[in-house]
Homo-oligomer: A and B are copies of this chain.
Amino acid sequence: MTDTSALLLSERIRIALADEITTGALASGVALDEQQIGDRFGASRTPVREALRQLASSGLIEMRPRRGAIVAAMTPDTIADMFEMSAEMEALCIRLATYRMTPIERSALRRLHEASEAMVAAGDIDAYDTFNLRFHQAIYEGTHNRFIAAQAVALRERMAAFRRTQLRESGRPVKSRAEHGQLLDAIMRGDGEEAAKAMRAHMFNASSAMERMIQSQS
């Protein structure tokens, strides 16, 4: 019997739980019973515990010694806080990247952006989501600061579920791509502060789209 998934079992559990928490399927304050979760995923408590540790360090759940884990409070305020952190992190990255990217890196970023036109036209959200990740990742690497890039990746990973929700709003991919164009322009002009501002606006628009999606769901 071949295991089609290359991922670690604990990672699969972590991603699934993170998804359920960010989408609201697991409400704030709900107790996360290790055994119960293990049963749900057909796993023992060991990988479940490792997944919970990860989630705790990313802030999605709270673990109190010997008292179990509960879903962290995810009020609209908390989510807004997370988006602000995310936006500021992206703004920091693009500001540094504007000053530090090599000509080769800049043209690679432009090529990426040009390639995404077809995805938007075809309405392929999954493909665009993948492109989106690479576009932002290229900016992280453009900071030429491995530590900042790693932090940015970790933060983005953490917001992944929100992002997917957000891109499903009709018309959002088109707008998202247009905003990317503005980011690119600011980078090409070498105006780091302007790039940072455009990035904050881009992230704000994404968060607004997500809020609307969540409201329409519930």
Interface residues of A (CB under 8 A from B): 8, 11, 46, 49-50, 53-54, 57-59, 65, 78, 81-82, 84-85, 88, 92, 145-148, 150-151
Contact = CB atoms under 8 A, between A and B. Distances in A.
Copies of this chain, whole number = 2
Given A50-B49, A58-B57, A81 B8 contact: no
B82 A92 contact: no
A148 B85 contact: yes
A146 B92 contact: no
A145 B92 contact: no
Q: Nearest 7 CB-CB pairs, A to B?
A: A81-B147, A57-B57, A81-B145, A53-B53, A85-B148, A85-B147, A82-B147
Contacts of A82: 147
A85 B57 CA distance: 18
Contacts of A50: 49-50, 53
